[in-house]
Amino acid sequence: MPENGSVDLSRDQCIRILITGGTFDKEYDELTGRLFFKDSHLPEMISLGRSKLDLEIRTLMMVDSLEMTAADRDIIVEQCRACPESRIVITHGTDTMETTAKLLAKNLSGKTIVLTGAMVPYKFGSSDGLFNLGSALAFVQTLLPGVYVVMNGRCFSADRVHKNKQTGFFEERTGAE
C-alpha cells in the first residue's frame, strides 16, 4: 500500500458513496427467516454517525455479491469513472468484494476508491457495518489514489486483499495468488 503524503482535501471535499447492496443492507423477514433487500440503511447510518461530510449518495443496485454479474461490475466501474468526485466509497457484499476491487484497480486510476461492507446486517444491531462505514469514510479522505478494501478497521490494497472464509475477516494476501 502506498504511503500517505500530504493530501489537500480542500480541492475535493465531496465524497461519492455508491450503494450496491450486500449484507450491509439486508433485512430479516421474521416469518420466513430469510434475508432480503428493501431500502438502503446508509442514510440512517450517516445520521447516527453524525457525519458532517459532504456526501453524494447513489444507489446503483441492491444485490447479494454472490449474485453480482459481470454487467453489474461494469456498471460500478463506469459509475466510478463518470462521477466528478475523486474520492469514492462503495458499499458491497463481502463474498466477492475483492473481485470488484481488482476490476476497479485494473480499469481506473487517479481516484481514491474504498470498498466496504458488513459481515452482519446493519438491522441486526450487532453489525460491524456502522464501524466499517465510518472507517471507510475516514480512509478515503487520507489515502492516495488507488483502490482499497476497508473492513474491521484495517485497510488493504485491492491487489493484496483476501477474505478468510474460516475466520470471517479480511487479510493481506501473501505470496503468489
Q: Check which CATH number belongs to the domain holding 57 and give it.
A: 3.40.50.1170
**Distance (Å, rounded) from C-alpha 14 to C-alpha 118?**
24
The verdict on residue 103 lying in a domain is yes
Structural domain containing residue 96: 40-159
Beta-carbon contacts of 53 under 8 Å, excluding residues fewer than 6 positions away, are: 15, 137
According to DSSP, residue 102 is labeled: H
Per-residue model confidence as pLDDT tens digits over 20-64? 987 776 666 566 667 655 777 778 778 878 888 999 999 999 887
Neighbours of 84 (CB within 10 A): 8
Identify whether 3 is part of a domain: no
Number of other residues whose CB lies within 10 A of the CB of residue 42? 20
pTM for the whole structure:
0.84
More confident residue, 108 or 128: 108
Residue 169, in any domain of the structure: no
